[in-house]
């Protein structure tokens, strides 16, 4: 008797589960049509949201800017390698700061992946302009949060720069260390 009752209970539970699943899935054709219509509407809404998100991302464009660090009033010091921390007359890019900015904007690409990811920030590049005007030993002081791609591209652009006018100390051409911050910003593409 106990086994029969137990089998009846198990059978009832199984039947309830089956009927419950049928009710949830909908066995009536009008329910399936309504369900399919709802699914289609939800799918269309997701597609529209995805398209809007992609469109919003594409509306951004990358912009680069630089700002030459102004000579500070720190004492002029020459290090063990003969490099001055500042000069009486600082080294100059041919054409000045605006030409340097144009050169960097022309030669440094803001990768689309960085734009899509919303990557912004500044890479402070330090380098030496030797007594002949050659840019030497460019290094990123920071910017690792921007990713290796942006930092490496920035350093490559500095490594390939044209000759500068060297710095002068007491009228003599000298090796001078400079720092140039390169800022990666996102702006609206409509601007």
Among the ranges 73-82, 86-95, 107-116, which has the highest mean pLDDT value? 86-95
Q: Which of 114, 170, 107, 115 is nearest to 135 (CA)?
A: 107
pLDDT of residue 33: 44
Decide: 58 and 177 in contact? Cβ < 8 Å: no
Q: Where are the domains of the chain?
A: 2-57, 61-188
User: Which range, of 19-28, 92-101, 113-122, averages the lowest pLDDT?
Assistant: 19-28
* C-alpha to C-alpha distance for 68 and 87, rounded to whole angstroms: 14
- Domain at 61-188: CATH code: 3.30.1150
- What is the Cα–Cα distance from 45 to 61, expressed in whole angstroms? 27
Tell if the pTM clears 0.75, that is, is over it: no
pLDDT score of 9 more than 80: no
Residue 164 burial (10 A CB sphere; 0-12, 13-18, 19+): buried
């Amino acid at each position: 008797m106990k086994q029969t009752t137990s089998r009846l209970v198990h059978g009832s539970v199984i039947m309830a589960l089956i009927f419950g699943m049928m009710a949830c899935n909908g066995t009536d054709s009008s329910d399936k049509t309504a369900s399919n219509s709802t699914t289609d509407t939800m799918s269309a809404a997701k597609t529209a949201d995805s398209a809007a998100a992609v469109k919003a991302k594409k509306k951004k464009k990358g912009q680069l800017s630089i700002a030459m660090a102004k000579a500070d009033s720190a004492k002029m010091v020459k290090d063990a390698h003969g490099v001055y921390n500042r000069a009486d007359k600082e080294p100059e890019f041919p054409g000045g700061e605006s030409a340097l900015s144009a050169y960097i904007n022309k030669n440094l690409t803001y990768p689309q992946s960085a734009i899509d990811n919303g990557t912004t920030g500044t890479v402070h590049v330090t380098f030496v302009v030797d007594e002949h005007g050659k840019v030497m030993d460019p290094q990123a002081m920071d910017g690792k949060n921007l990713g290796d791609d942006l930092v490496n591209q920035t350093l490559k652009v500095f490594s390939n720069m044209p000759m500068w006018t060297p710095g002068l100390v007491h009228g003599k051409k000298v090796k001078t260390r400079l720092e140039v911050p390169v800022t990666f910003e996102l702006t609206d593409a409509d601007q």
